Structures are given as structure tokens and as C-alpha cells.
Amino acid sequence: MHAGPALRVALACLLLCQSLPAAFAATVTPTAVTGTVQLDRPGPVIPPELYGQFMEQLGTGIDDGIWVGPGSAIPNTRGYRNDVLAALKALKVPLLRWPGGCYADIYHWRSGIGPRAQRPVTLNRWWGNKEEHNGFGTHEFFEFAELVGARTFLNVNVGTGTPREAAEWVEYITSPTNSTLARERRRNGRDAPWKIDFLGIGNEPNGCGGRMRAEWFADQFRQYVGFIAPHGGTTFIASGPDATSAEWTRTTMEIAGQHLDAFSMHYYTLPTGDWTVKGPATGFDEAQWRATFEQTYRIEPMIREQRAIMDEFDPEAKKALVIGEWGTWYDPTPGSPGGWLQQQNSLRDGLVAAANFNIFHRHAERLRVAGIAQMVNVLQAMILTDGPRMVLTPTYHAFALYRPFQGATALPLALHSPAYGSLRAVDGSAARGADGTLHLALVNLDPRTPMDVSLALPGWHGQRVSGQVLTADAIDAHNTFDAPDVVRPAAFDGARVADGALTATLPAKSLVVLALEPID
């Protein structure tokens, strides 16, 4: 699940060498941030799938978080919580990944089909040995994706499964024929086949996915895709390890590159960088706040490394880079069950999400799919539930503010910012929507200092601008079931456009998202 010491040192050196000196931060007064939006240099279209979400059978991530069953007193649609459904539809979630994660490699699909009362009870060895009653299985996942309006990312079992098992599962799901498996799907209540948009072969195969060597996994990948034949096609994704491994990526591309459509990496943000003591989700100080952002920005040199290796084998960028899992990982909430990975979600998490979106946009030519871990109740969740109650987190609000970037055309944004620690205090992203609207997202990481921003907009003639801001009084401000609106977006009227330039003052510790309307 994590990078080794040598890799961490190398990445730290790479990050620090690209950054301003940390000592400079202490000498900077509240000063200007300048830059240019290069409207005449359109980049790639930002794939909506970069805003995908990951849902694993883990703790209450699915059971009680998404699925309560049709007999529940909690209002539901065929067993899916109505409040969670409505929130996800409003978010326009483009992609759902299931069933894991580590769980994927102990999941046998036949445990999750047929009458629910007859499904076996299995043990989730990776996540606390929780008893899984398998009420949420294949049909429930694909029906849920249809209700949300999302594309599907299915992970098949390589660690304890077989190519035959995976091939039969895919036939069961996708076949329009009268094969025995397709008829079985119909008997279980689904006439028309489903589409598997993305098919992940393996999950962290160097670790919980089988403790494999790169050569062994690459051969396994070739064998699996040789027998799996989804009707309607799919994007085959080869799994890499957690974080980044140049050797693993190069070996996979050399042995299996011609058989894959995409390659996946994972990366989690730990404030301490130490898996034994990761740091608390709330009650942290500014040093931990700053360290969290310094850790999250390490994903960018990792992406550059992966891109460079893939470019050697695929210079036309036909094959996609995928970040199958990303997000913050803290020490679990005190008193929560072991292995359920429950943690609170604060303003810090909302800004971490925004920082990652800005990074993803910069690499959208190759990076085309990502999945935050996870959607409900687990790790950096969009939504928290407790019985019939539900609350939206700051991360949910960050996703909502970035909705206009889905499918928009990325524009280069050159920024000159004072430092915050080893990072720029202000980072951002720009894109042009299909209707011509210019969208800008600006993140101020400094928790104490507002930032005056002035951006040149050469060639821009509009003057109307509107915006929203996400901030709060405390760095660990968070929403609870009793106080659900402590951190939520508010209207932002501090931006002006005149004479081909935008000016705005970003509050400390804030995300500001602006929409600039073109002249008709």
C-alpha cells in the first residue's frame, strides 16, 4: 500500500528541487499572485472520468452507506438510500469503481448473485474480518450505476481467482446471447446486458493483490485478457503497485503493453508519510496542515514519471494512465471498528481534493481516469451516514465546485506565487466550456494570509464574472450530523474583470471557483 524509503526520499528530493525555498515563506508579506491564462493554447479536453469515485465492500462504505435493502425504514429506491442517490446525482458522478481495492482479489462473483436470502456469508479478511452477507452484488452495482448515471469500472479477481472465473463473470454481465450464463442473468432479473466501460485486471498485485513480481503479473495480465471477451468492448486496465515504480511500469509495458489499454497507479496522502502513525483527521496543527499538502503534491512527479515511461512505448498517448485510488488517509476515528477506515473530513480535505484536480488537469493528455477513495463513509468520503442521517463533506463540495471542468478544454495557467512551505501558496486550473465560458479554480493553501491575484487574459473580451468560495474559520472545520453546514460553498463577489485582466482576493485557506462569461 505504500512506497519504500528510497522512493520516498527520491520523490521528496524531486519535489523540493522543483519548489521555492521553504525559508522564503517566512519573508513573504501578503502580496500579489500574478499569472496568465493562455487562451490561445487550448489543451486536451478534461475527461469527466477524472472525477470518478471508488466504492469498496469495506465497513459501512456500501452496507448502510449506499445500500440498506428494500425492507429498510430508511427511505430507499429498491434498497439504495434515496438521500445518497440524490446527492450523487447532483454531483454528476461520471464513473464508479467496484468491488475493490484489496477486496476485489478475495471476491468471488457468484457470492453476490441470486436471491439475497440464499447468498453465502463470507469474511472480509482485509478489512476487519467483517461478515459480508453479499446483499450488494453484481446486479446491485450495475443498477446503482444506472440510477446515478455513471459509467462502470469493474475490478476482477486475479489474486484468488482464475481467468475462467473472470471470463464467466464478464459473459454473465455483458452477453446478449442465449448462453447458459446469459440466461442465468435473465433468471436473476436482468434481461438486457450491461456495459463494462473499464475492466481492471488486478489491484495492487505487488501487495494485497497477490504479492506478485512485475514479470509474473504481466504474464497473468496477458492470460486474463486473452480469455475475457466483453460484448460491446471495454477498456482493459493493467494494475500497477501503490505509489509509483518505474521498474514495474516498464516491465508491464514491455511484456504486456500491446495487450493493455490503460495502466493504473495508486497514491494516498498521509500527513506524516508514515503508515504506522498517519496523523489525525481533526485536531491537527498548522505543521500537519502544511505537511498534508506537501505530501499530496508528491503525486505530480509520480505522474510525470509514469507518463515518461509510457511515452517510451506509446509516444502517441493512445494508452491511458489511470489513478485508480487517491485521497487522504488518516488514523481512524477513535472508537471506530478496526479495519473500517472511518475518518472525519475537514476543510483540509476539500482543498486537498482541489489541489489534486488541478494536478490532474495539467496531465489530462495521458491521465484520463481517477477514482477518489472512497465515496461514502470510508477514507476521504464525499458523504457520511449514520442510520437515517446523512451529511455532505467538504470534499463533496469541492467535487461540486469543479463540475464545470468535466468535459471542458484545459487551458495553460502560468502562476507566480509566494511560497507556502516548500510549495506555491496558490495553485489553480483554467478551462473553457463548450459554451465558451472560462472557468478558473484557485486554491490558497496559506491558512493565515489572503492572496491578491491578478491574471492576464489576453484575447478575452467579457466582463461578467461570478464565483463561489469554500473556506471556514478553522483549518480543521468539518460538518457533522448536528451541524451539517459548517463548511459549504458561499457566493464569492470579490472578482473583477476589466481591460483583459482578472483581479480577485482569495481568502486564506480557500478554494475559489469563477465563471467568466464571454460576450455574445
Please identify every residue annotated as catalytic: 204, 325
Closest to 356 measured CA to CA, from 410, 399, 409, 413: 399
The three-point CA angle 237-239-245 to 5° equals 130
CB atoms within 10 A of CB 92: 15
Please give the distance of CA 383 from its chain centroid, rounded to a whole number: 14
Dihedral angle sign, alpha carbons of residues 441, 442, 443, 448: negative
Question: Collapsing DSSP states into helix, strand and coil, what is residue 492?
Answer: strand
Phi then psi for residue 260, to 5 deg, are -110, 155
Cis peptide before 209 (omega within 30 of 0): no
Residue type, 450: P
Q: Is 40 exposed, middle or buried (0-12, 13-18, 19+ CB in 10 A)?
A: exposed
Q: For residue 419, what are the β-bridge partners?
A: 424
Half-sphere exposure of 106 toward its Cβ, with a 13 Å CA cutoff? 16
Question: Collapsing DSSP states into helix, strand and coil, what is residue 501?
Answer: strand
Which segments of 80-211 are extended strands (E)? Answer: 80-81, 95-98, 122-124, 130-132, 151-156, 198-201
Closest to 446 measured CA to CA, from 468, 421, 463: 421
| Euclidean distance between CA atoms 358 and 346, whole angstroms | 19
Output helix, strand, coil percentages for the chain, rounded to the nearest 5: 30, 25, 45
Cβ–Cβ < 8 Å for 404, 357: no
C-alpha cell at 253: 509495458
Phi then psi for residue 304, to 5 deg, are -60, -40
Q: For residue 510, what are the β-bridge partners?
A: 444
